[in-house]
Amino acid sequence: MYIKPETLRLDRYLSAQLGISRNDAKELIKKRQVTVNGEIAKLYDMKIVTGSDIVSVNGNEINYRKYVYIMLNKPAGTVCAVKDELSPTVLELIPQELRRKGLFPAGRLDKDTEGFVFITDDGELAHKMLSPRSHVDKIYYAELDREADESYIERFEEGMTIDGDEKCLPAKIELLPDRKKVYITLHEGKYHQVKRMIHALGNEVVYLKRVQIGGLPLDETLPLGSCREIMHKEIEKIYTK
């Protein structure tokens, strides 16, 4: 994928790429810890051309990215928010090398839900991904209190009404051989939607995990609480069926 080069001041470049303040970036330059194309950088406002100038901090080259896209395997007990007074947020699980200003979770999972959370600082892409017009499905694995039966399939397909008057789009439920275990595909994201749909059928969700967003599955090798960067090619998968 071609990425158009940009020209940025060195202190802004460091601040954006390392998720540090502009003052901290200046400090690194002052302490002669930053090189540009192999030469120690002396000026905060030196112009950096992305994609061609090589910037290193303490000998480690910075791999320039305009935006970052992160796949997190969210553990229960964390909240999908940028800040929270009471609970740890998903952003606190992001390792230093991927941290940046402006990161936020695109879409929410409940505090007790596990699985795939997409985190980025690319507002435009997140907005597009969350828009119902993009038709990005979400797939969940759920464990239920009681066994599901075939009637669930039709109820999901016809579009259920939950909590009296809230109409859901047609959705899909797949029953696994152990009938207390199911996969559910939603085309929208209403508040507590999976739990409320199952509740409307007289059952309850006892465990919930998001396993796929659009055509991109959660990386099975990713332990709970860990994350990895999503590459451009994989982002395109989000929009495939």
Residues that bind ligand URA (CB under 6 A): 109-110, 113, 192-195, 208
What 8-state DSSP symbol labels residue 79? B
Of 185, 181, 192, nearest to 148 by C-alpha is: 181
> Of 65 and 192, which CB lies nearer to ligand URA in the complex structure?
192
Minimum distance from residue 108 beta carbon to ligand URA (Å): 7
Minimum distance from residue 10 beta carbon to ligand URA (Å): 42
Minimum distance from residue 154 beta carbon to ligand URA (Å): 20
Separation of alpha carbons 63 and 50, rounded Å: 10
Helix (H) or strand (E) run with residue 112 in it? none
Which pair of tokens denotes residue 11?
Answer: 């202190």
Looking at 53, 110, 137, 219, which residue is catalytic?
110
Chain-centroid distance, C-alpha 60: 27
The pairing of strands 138-144 and 216-217 is unpaired
> Of 95 and 170, which CB lies nearer to ligand URA in the complex structure?
170
> Of 65 and 108, which CB lies nearer to ligand URA in the complex structure?
108
Helix (H) or strand (E) run with residue 29 in it? helix 22-30
110 labelled catalytic: yes
Please list the active-site residues: 110
